[in-house]
Homo-oligomer: A and B are copies of this chain.
Amino acid sequence: MTEPSGEFAYINWIRSQLPAEDGVTTIGSGDDMAEVRLPTGGRVLVGTDAILEGTHFDLRRDAPADVGWKALAVNLSDVAAMAAEPICGVGTLALPRTMAMTAAQEIFAGIKRCADAYGCRWVGGDITAWDAPLAITVTVLAWAEKPVRRNGAKVGQVVAVTGSLGGSLLGRHLTFPPRIAEARKLAAAVRLGAMMDLSDGLSSDIGHICQESGVGVVIEGAKVPVSAAAEKMAARDGRTALDHAINDGEDFELLFTCEAADAAALGKLDLGVPVTVIGRIVAAGEGRVLVDQHSHAAALMPGGYEHWKK
């Protein structure tokens, strides 16, 4: 065990400072979105995510409109993770002072196209400029009768994902479709346990579900759906395609658990995207395990990228 450090340690420290969930904060820090009860009754989900030039996109290569799309889509992916529907979005743009007006307009056009595509009203924000790279923070409000959380995984449930994983850096990490409709169909069709979106990579993200739910997991490597992009990257860099599928970030697919008896129903759903059962939830004491095609078991370690290591 190494001493916890960097972003996760900071996040854990922050969480220790926050009050427990109560009658007002109905879903607190640690899920894809928080939920609060309003003074007039009713509840609303709120989530916020930043994307940063050089970390989440590269303006030397990526189209400004695609960057705008991503800024909202990463947030809508969190809405999907709760099986919720978006209400509205706001955002802040910190623009490099050297940026041309046309590029700034294209960024907004990308945000707006994504907002319109997913029924998320864009209601404003804040524009500033500085002598530094582009940073965009978007916040979305959403609503679900019954938000699906990270802490609902139970022993015996199966683990499944939408789509295929890995290699998103070859392009899909920018203009991906948030799985909002897919998540709501899943929630209607099967008894979901836990759900989240894959942003840090399967090996890290399944750990979040295990942590929040107090369970362990067995992932069968041979069942993990490997994307063509992961194969392509593996051919270039000598890592295996499965390694990419398990450890690359920014898939923005759904990772969820559901009752084992519903696993057959999953296969019959017409989501427009494949759904694949990749493992099962076990007791916490059994740990987090990756079984390979030869039935060799290894500890499943978070291989996601951690940006900050102070």
Task: Please list the residues of chain A having a beta carbon within 8 angstroms of any beta carbon in chain B.
Answer: 6-7, 9-11, 13-14, 17-19, 24-25, 28-30, 34, 36, 38-44, 46-50, 52-56, 85, 87-88, 90-92, 94-95, 97, 99-101, 104-105, 108-109, 112, 121-133, 135, 137, 139, 141, 143, 307-308, 310
Contacts and interface: CB of A to CB of B under 8 A. Distances in A.
A35 to B, nearest CB: 8
A310 to B, nearest CB: 5
A14 B95 CA distance: 14
A14 B131 CA distance: 22
Contact of A124 (B34, B129, B143, B307): B34
Contacts of A124: 18, 28-30, 34
Given A46-B139, A141-B141, 7 more contacts: A10-B101, A34-B90, A38-B42, A42-B42, A48-B137, A129-B308, A132-B132
Nearest to A104: B10
A105 to B, nearest CB: 6
Given A11-B127, A14-B108, A143-B39, A95 B308 contact: yes
Number of copies: 2
Given A18-B122, A101-B10, A132 B129 contact: no
Contacts of A99: 308, 310
* A-B pairs, 10 with minimum CB distance: A129-B308, A29-B124, A137-B137, A34-B123, A50-B92, A139-B139, A40-B42, A129-B307, A92-B137, A48-B90
A48 B125 contact: yes
Nearest to A135: B135
9 contacts: A10-B104, A13-B105, A36-B141, A46-B123, A50-B128, A54-B130, A100-B310, A132-B132, A137-B139
